[in-house]
Amino acid sequence: MEEDVLYHLDLGTKTHNLPAMFGDVKFVCVGGSPNRMRAFAQFMHKELGLAGDGEDLADICAGTDRYAMYRAGPVLSISHGMGIPSISIMLHELIKLLHHAKCRDVTIIRIGTSGGLGVEAGSVVITDMAVDSSFKPRFEQVVLDDVVVRSTELDRDLAEELLTCSKEIPDLPTLIGHTMCTYDFYEGQGRLDGALCSFSSEKKLDYLKRAYNAGVRNIEMESTAFAALCRLCGLRAAVVCVVLLDRLEGDQIRAPREVLREFQHRPQRLIAAFIRKRLGLR
C-alpha cells in the first residue's frame, strides 16, 4: 500500500513518522481498560527510572477514543477493550504499526483479569495454552465464508521465564495453567447471574469441573485470538491474568474495589520485574 491508515489508532504511515516514534519499542503490553494501561505506563516509567514523574504521559491515540496508548521507554502500553472482536482490531493495527516502525525482537504480553477455576482470588495465572469453550487449543476465525482454525500455542520459554520471575516477588501467588477464552462473560462463562439463566446449577458446575479437569485454571475473553494472531505474525507472546474470584465458588465479583485494584496491579508488578530483568536492571 502506498499509504496505510491505522484508523482505530488514529495513526498512519503518511501522517506519522512511525520508525521515529516506535522503532526502539521492545515490549508491548496490552490490557482491557484504558485507565489501567495508563497506570501501567506510569508504573513502568517509575520502575525504569525514566526522567520526570511520568504522571503526565500523553495518550498517543488521543485522536480516537477506541483505544489508548502510552509509552514508557522501550515499553508500549495499549488498551484493547473487552472481547475478541475488540482485541482483534487493535492487534491487526498494532502489528502493522510494529512492522512499519521496523521494530525487532518484540515481546508482547496481555495483562488482564479473569475468573479462576479452583484458584484463589488474587492469584496470577500465566497461560501455557489458550483454549476455547470445548477446552481445545484453537481459535476459529471466520474468513469470507469459511471457518479457519488457528493454533493458540504460546511461547513456553517465555511462560517459564515469567514464572521464574514471579518466585522472586513476595506476596505474588503465581501458577501456570490453561486459560479458557469465551465470547461472553455471562452464559458463555457458565454464569447464572446474567439476564438469562438457561441451564441448571448442576450443569454449570459439571461444565466448570470438566474445564478444571482439562487443565483450565482461569477464564477470560481474549486469549485465543491474541495467541493465534501473535503466533501467525511471529511475535513472542504471553498472557498473564489475575484471578478476581474462584468460579467454583460463585459468579458475582464481590471483592471491594480497593481489593480489586490491588489484585489488578499484580500482573503489572510481575511484568515490571520481568522487563527490568530483561533490561539488566536489578
The binder of 115, among ligand R2B, ligand URA, none, by C-beta within 5 to 8 A per type, is ligand URA
Q: Is 32 in the site for ligand R2B (CB under 6 A)?
A: yes
- d(CA 17, CA 88) in angstroms, rounded, equals 24
Q: Is 113 in the site for ligand R2B (CB under 6 A)?
A: yes
DSSP string, 85-107: HHHHHHHHHHHHHHHHTT--S-E
Q: Which of 34, 81, 83, 115 binds ligand URA (CB under 6 A)?
A: 115
Q: Which of 78, 130, 220, 245 binds ligand R2B (CB under 6 A)?
A: 220
Compose the 231-250 pattern: x for residues touching ligand URA by CB under 6 A, - for all others.
Answer: -------------x------
Q: Which of 34, 73, 112, 267 binds ligand R2B (CB under 6 A)?
A: 112
Query: 12: helix, coil or strand?
Result: strand
Q: Is 81 in the site for ligand URA (CB under 6 A)?
A: no
Q: Where are the alpha helices (DSSP H) in 58-155?
A: 84-100
For the chain, helix, strand, coil in percent to 5 are 35, 25, 40
Q: Which three cell numbers stand for residue 10?
A: 488514529
Query: 169: helix, coil or strand?
Result: coil
- d(CA 247, CA 216) in angstroms, rounded, equals 12
The binder of 82, among ligand R2B, ligand URA, none, by C-beta within 5 to 8 A per type, is ligand R2B
Q: Which of 21, 48, 50, 82 binds ligand R2B (CB under 6 A)?
A: 82
Q: Where are the alpha helices (DSSP H) in the chain?
A: 18-22, 34-47, 84-100, 156-167, 201-213, 223-232, 257-278
Question: 40-79: which residues touch ligand R2B (CB under 6 A)?
Answer: none
Q: Is 125 in the site for ligand URA (CB under 6 A)?
A: no
Q: Hey, how many other C-beta atoms are within 10 angstroms of the C-beta on 217?
A: 24
Q: Hey, how many other C-beta atoms are within 10 angstroms of the C-beta on 22?
A: 23
Specify the residue, 114 or 127, whose C-beta has the smaller distance to ligand URA: 114
Candidate segments 45-53, 89-97, 207-215, 219-227, binder of ligand R2B by CB under 6 A: 219-227
Q: Is 268 in the site for ligand URA (CB under 6 A)?
A: no
Candidate segments 21-29, 95-103, 123-131, 213-221, binder of ligand URA by CB under 6 A: 213-221
Specify the residue, 91 or 208, whose C-beta has the smaller distance to ligand URA: 208
- d(CA 121, CA 10) in angstroms, rounded, equals 37
Question: 9-48: which residues touch ligand URA (CB under 6 A)?
Answer: none
The binder of 88, among ligand R2B, ligand URA, none, by C-beta within 5 to 8 A per type, is none
- d(CA 208, CA 47) in angstroms, rounded, equals 38
- d(CA 46, CA 50) in angstroms, rounded, equals 6
**Using CB under 6 A as the criterion, which residues of the chain lie in contact with ligand URA when the complex forms?**
113-115, 185, 189, 219-221, 244
**Using CB under 6 A as the criterion, which residues of the chain lie in contact with ligand R2B when the complex forms?**
32, 82, 112-114, 185, 220-222
